[in-house]
Structure formats: structure tokens, C-alpha cells
Amino acid sequence: MTVSLPLVVVLGFFAWGAVKFLGVRTWVVVLIALFGFYLSQTLLAPAIESGTRSGVDVINSSHA
């Protein structure tokens, strides 16, 4: 059985858990999200995307 979840859903779940259980302030989560949008417009975006894809591929291949 294969379950497919978008990475943004997984990260959103972790952000919710951090606010709920770790006591992280909501404004900190919003600030980190805005920083992510900023990084997506820089020259680091391709490196971040390829690193994320490599990580996801490693996780997918270890469970197959």
C-alpha cells in the first residue's frame, strides 16, 4: 500500500505539533515560513530543491 503526502502537509503537521506540544510561538512559525518564501526566490532555491528531492528519494527507497 502506497501513501502519498505532499511535503508541505508533513511540514505543516510538524509546525502544528511544535506550536501545540513544544510551546513554539505562532509568530515564530510564520516567520520561518516567510523565510522559506524568501529563500525560494534566491540562488539557493535549486540546491534546496535537489537536496529535498534527494532526501525524499532516500526515504522512499529505504521503505520499498
Closest listed residue to residue 52, CA positions, set 4, 12, 7? 7
Provide the pLDDT for residue 21.
95
Provide the pLDDT for residue 2.
64
Provide the pLDDT for residue 63.
64
Provide the pLDDT for residue 50.
93
Residue stretches of the chain with pLDDT short of 70: 1-3, 63-64
Measured between alpha carbons, how far is 34 from 15 in angstroms, rounded to an integer?
Answer: 13
Answer yes or no: pTM beyond 0.85. no
Q: Would you state the cell numbers that stand for residue 28, as one nine-digit string?
A: 515564530
